[in-house]
Structure 1
Amino acid sequence: MSKITFLGAGSTIFAKNVLGDCMLTPSVQGFEFALYDIDLQRLKDSENMLENLKKSLGSHVTVKSYTDRKEALKGAKYVVNAIQVGGYKPSTVIDFDIPKKYGLRQTIGDTIGIGGIFRSLRTIPVMLDFAKDMEEVCPDAWFLNYTNPMASLTGTMLRYTGIKTVGLCHSVQAAVPDLFKSLNMDYDDVQWKIAGINHLAWLLEVSKDGEDLYPEIKKRAALKQQEQHDDMVRFELMNRFGYYVTESSEHNAEYHPYFIKNNYPELIEKFNIPIDEYPRRCVEQIEDWEKMREDVVNNQNLSHKRTHEYASYMIEAMETDQPFRIHGNVLNTGGLISNLPANAVVEVPCLVDRNGVNPCYVGDLPGQLAALNRTNINTQLLTIEAAMTGKREHIYQAAMLDPHTGSELSIDDIISLCDELIEAHGEMLPNFKREESFV
């Protein structure tokens, strides 16, 4: 029996989306869905939910929970990763509260920025443990990574393990439809091209019947900027740099040095930036889950429609050899984006078939877009270096080169902040050596 293993299966709603999609995929019938999570109650909840969903959809799969990770992985053909190391408490609270003491404010804190750096540092060791188990019990499996920080985690797996890995995010497939909806434009038959890095990929081309739609997009966006809305940062970036970015404004507000600034507090209101959005979202999700738990977990009439998450379509393409196009996060091997570093993870079109994930060549990004991507790549690469060497020096450097952190804090404050975060996270982080030059 072929097996799909879901690591972090206690994320019940996401497990419903991904594995519910797979239940609706004909080529996956007969598979085992192996569920693993360190939260045993949430694991049981997801198992109950999926059993109910299986019955209501008439799917012919086997759902099984595991408390032994290696057993869950044994013989897997595909592994879906959706973990969060440290959770809301204590880790997310630490990532937001300590930087606030230094005047450093964040919105999401899960990609780069000081929050993204420390989320990477506590997640990379767990990912390497996954890889070690997989190399022993399912060395040929595909690792489908949905966990953030996407570029740092996927890059670590691809550079330092033998596991076939691709990073998956839904920001690309949602970007253009959401843009057109927000501007009251017709999306039917629109063609587009997107490439860059995760959460900072760019709508390079957008057309319909051979007509470039960017002039109309920019015209409507400029009019919309006259009133507050949820995409003001993205529209400002498009206005200044010429292209629309895939990920949301609350994310992009902290990927650049322009929007969250203590010396210019009026920018928060001007660009409608939701400070502390991720902690607030966590609290709301916890409260909502408790309210809806019975409706989801024990609902024997639970229904599902296939979502736009890539996992089931990828598995179907590999199983049937019917190609499917995704935008995957892969190493920039061979200069897929020729003006970005070879050891960076880029988000580019990929064709998936029985041969696996086949990235497509993009070439040069416009110079200003490559430059913006490199500011984030610098921090990503140094964060990986820190995790793999255990040297605090590289944590400091990653933070100093982070566009938001570096624009707000002095070098001494950045080092002090990093040291305080290392101490606060404690056993969540590896033991980092102190470099004499930074003591």
Structure 2
Amino acid sequence: MPKITFLGAGSTIFAKNVLGDCMLTPSLQDFEFALYDIDHQRLKESEQMLNNLKQSYGSTVSIHAYTDRKEALRNAKYVVNAIQVGGYKPSTVIDFEIPKRYGLRQTIADTVGVGGIFRALRTIPVMLDFAKDIEEVCPDALFLNYTNPMASLTGAMLRATNVKTVGLCHSVQAAVPDLFKELELDEEGVQWNIAGINHMAWLLEVSKDGKDLYPEIKRRARLKQQEKHSDMVRYELMNRFGYYVTESSEHNAEYHPYFIKKQYPELVDRFNIPLDEYPRRCVEQIEHWEKMKHDVIHNENLTHERTHEYASYLIEAIETDQPFRLHGNVLNTGGLISNLPEKAVVEVPCLVDHNGVTPCRVGELPPQLAALNRTNVNTQLLTVEAALTGKREHIYHAAMLDPHTAAELSMDDIISLCDDLIEAHGSWLPSFEKEKAFTV
């Protein structure tokens, strides 16, 4: 029986999306869904939820919850990773509150910035432990990484292990539909091309019947900027740099040095930037889950519609040899994007069939877009370097090169902030010895 192992299965709603999608895919019937989570209560809840779905649809998949990770992985053909190391408390709270003492404000803090750096540093060691088990008990498995920070985590897996890994995100497939809906444009028949890095990939071309739609998109976007809305940062980036970016404005506000600034506090209001959005969202999601979990866990008529998450389509394409095109996060080996570093993880079109995931070469990005990408790639590469070498100095380097952090803090304050974060996270992080040369 082929096996899909879901690591972090206690994330019940996301498990419902990904494994519910798989359950509704005809070619994936008779698979085993192996669930693993360190929170055994949440694991049990997800198992019950999936059994409800199985009963509702008469599926022939089998569902097993494991408390032994290696047994959950044994003989898996696909491994889905959706873990969050440290959770909302204590780790997410630490990632926001300590930088705030230095005057450094964030919105999401899961990709770059000091929040993204420390999320990566506490997650990479766990994923490398996963890799050891995978290499032992399912060495041919394909590892589908959904956990952020996508580029740093996927890069660590691809560079430091033998595990076949691709990073999957939903920002690309949502970008054009969301943009067209907001601008009241008809999406039917539109062709588009996107490439870049995760959360900062670019809509390079968008056309219909051979006609470039960018002039009309930009015209409508400029009109929309006259009143406040939820996507003002992305529209401003498109206005200044010429292209639309895939991830939301609350994310992109903290990827660049232009929007969240102590020196210009009015920018936060002007661009409608939701500071501290992620902690607020975490609290809302926790409260929402507590209200709805009884109906999800105990509803024997539970329903599900296939989502736009890539995992089920990817697995279906491999199993049926019916090609599917997606945007995956892969190493930039051979210069898939020729003006980004080879060690970078890039988000590019990939063809999936029985042979697996084959990335497509994009060539050069427009120079201003590659330059913006490189500012984030610098931090990602140094974060991976810190995780793989255990050198604290590379944590400092990563933070000092982060665009938003560097625009707000002195080098002395950045180093002090990193030291405070290391101390606060405690056992959630591996040991990073302090270099004498960086003692402040």
Please classify the TM superposition score into its range, dividing by the shorter chain length: over 0.9
Work out the percentage of aligned pairs sharing the same amino acid: 81
Name 1:190's counterpart in structure 2: 190
Mapped to 1, the partners of 2:28 and 2:323 lie a distance apart of: 16
Question: What is the alpha-carbon root mean square deviation over aligned residues?
Answer: 0.4
Name 2:10's counterpart in structure 1: 10
Name 2:36's counterpart in structure 1: 36
Q: Secondary structure at the match of 1:337?
A: coil
Name 1:319's counterpart in structure 2: 319
Mapped to 1, the partners of 2:285 and 2:139 lie a distance apart of: 35
Alignment of 1:416-435 (within 5 A): 416-435=416-435
Aligned AA (1:386): A
Mapped to 2, the partners of 1:172 and 1:295 lie a distance apart of: 32
Name 1:368's counterpart in structure 2: 368
Alignment of 1:44-55 (within 5 A): 44-55=44-55
How far 1:435 moved relative to its partner?
1.1
How far 1:262 moved relative to its partner?
0.3
Question: What per-residue deviation string (whole Å, max 9, x for no partner) do you get for residues 349-384 of structure 1?
Answer: 000011110000100000000000000000000000
How far 1:57 moved relative to its partner?
1.2
Question: What per-residue deviation string (whole Å, max 9, x for no partner) do you get for residues 184-220 of structure 1?
Answer: 0000010000000000000000000000000000000
Aligned AA (1:259): F
How far 1:26 moved relative to its partner?
1.1
Alignment of 1:8-407 (within 5 A): 8-407=8-407
Q: Secondary structure at the match of 1:134?
A: helix
Q: Secondary structure at the match of 2:139?
A: coil
Q: Secondary structure at the match of 2:134?
A: helix
Mapped to 2, the partners of 1:323 and 1:105 lie a distance apart of: 44
Mapped to 2, the partners of 1:318 and 1:131 lie a distance apart of: 22
Q: Secondary structure at the match of 2:329?
A: strand
Aligned AA (1:285): Q
Mapped to 1, the partners of 2:283 and 2:360 lie a distance apart of: 40
Q: Secondary structure at the match of 1:303?
A: coil
Q: For structure 1, which runs of at least 5 residues remain unmatched after alignment?
A: none
Q: Secondary structure at the match of 1:185?
A: coil
Mapped to 1, the partners of 2:215 and 2:58 lie a distance apart of: 48
TM-score (norm 1): 1.00
How far 1:433 moved relative to its partner?
1.4
Q: For structure 2, which runs of at least 5 residues remain unmatched after alignment?
A: none
Mapped to 2, the partners of 1:207 and 1:156 lie a distance apart of: 36
Aligned AA (1:300): E
TM-score (norm 2): 1.00
How far 1:151 moved relative to its partner?
0.1
Q: Secondary structure at the match of 2:80?
A: strand
Mapped to 2, the partners of 1:120 and 1:92 lie a distance apart of: 12
Aligned AA (1:227): E
Dislocated runs of 4+, deviation >3 Å: none
